[in-house]
Amino acid sequence: MEENKEKVEIYSKRVKAGKRTYFFDVKSTRGNDYYLTITESKKRFHEDGFGYEKHKIFLYKEDFEKFVEALKETVEHVKTELMPDVDFTQFDRDNYEVESDNFKWD
């Protein structure tokens, strides 16, 4: 009997941001470990129709805290040092839609 080799998706959050969509997915490995994938998807038009351009980052548990801390620090630097006069609250929920899909596996 062949073992199912697909990665199991445990949790997913989608963020629509203008022409881009970001997907934050928690997946499990065959060894019952967990990791995140962060995918940026952009719709691209071609002569024969359209398709999606995707870029993906895999983030493993040992890097979660370092990644989140670096992201927070970088965003805070842009807000306070590079763009202190911008009211970032104007972007809250205007053109952004967050959807969460919780998957429950029996």
Q: 84: domain CATH number?
A: 3.10.450.700
User: What whole-number percentage of the chain has pLDDT above 90?
Assistant: 58
Q: Is the pLDDT of residue 43 over 70?
A: yes
Q: Find the domain containing 85 and state its range.
A: 8-102
In a domain, 12, yes or no: yes
Domain assignment present for residue 42? The answer is yes
For 84-97, how does the pLDDT look when each residue is reduced to its tens digit (9 = 90+)?
999 988 877 644 45
Asked if residue 43 is part of any domain, the answer here is: yes
In a domain, 3, yes or no: no
1 is a domain residue:
no
Residue 2 lies in a domain: no
What is the model's pLDDT at position 55? 96
Question: Who wins on pLDDT, 45 or 42?
Answer: 42
Nearest residue to 19 via CA among 49, 53, 48: 53
Alpha carbon dihedral 33, 69, 57, 17, in 10-degree steps, equals 120
Number of domains in the chain: 1
Pick the range with the lowest mean pLDDT from 18-22, 24-28, 63-67, 100-104.
Answer: 100-104
Q: How far apart are CA 14 and CA 97, in angstroms?
A: 8
Instruction: Please report whether residue 53 resides in a domain.
Output: yes
Alpha helices in 1-106 (DSSP H): 64-77
Amino acid at 29: T
Provide the pLDDT for residue 13.
Answer: 96
Amino acid symbol at 8: V
- The pLDDT confidence band at residue 19, using thresholds 50, 70 and 90, is confident
